[in-house]
């Protein structure tokens, strides 16, 4: 089920939140990560061209 969920998220441009958390811990240890809701909104904005979207690295 997890593989299907992850595949569907990637198909619609939604990377897994857990991957984001691991990235933040590894590459930005002093920075507080976005909440799950903030992360979702950020990815939606990046996908559809809203303000505040984009990738960190």
When pLDDT is cut at 50, 70 and 90, the band that residue 39 belongs to is very high
Q: pTM of the prediction?
A: 0.63
Q: 57: Cβ–Cβ under 8 A, 6 or more apart, which residues?
A: 23, 27
In the DSSP assignment, the letter for residue 13 is: T
Backbone region of residue 32 per phi and psi (left: phi > 0; alpha: psi in -120 to 50; beta: other values) = beta
Cα–Cα distance measured from residue 19 to residue 32, given in angstroms and rounded to the nearest whole number:
15
- Spans of all domains in the chain: 2-48
At 10-35, the pLDDT tens digits run 676 667 888 899 999 999 999 999 99
């Amino acid at each position: 089920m997890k593989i299907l969920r992850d595949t569907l998220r990637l198909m619609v441009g939604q990377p897994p939140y857990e991957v984001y958390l691991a990235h933040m811990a590894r590459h930005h240890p002093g920075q507080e990560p976005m909440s799950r809701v903030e992360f979702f909104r950020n990815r939606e904005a990046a996908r559809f061209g809203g303000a505040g979207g984009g990738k960190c690295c």
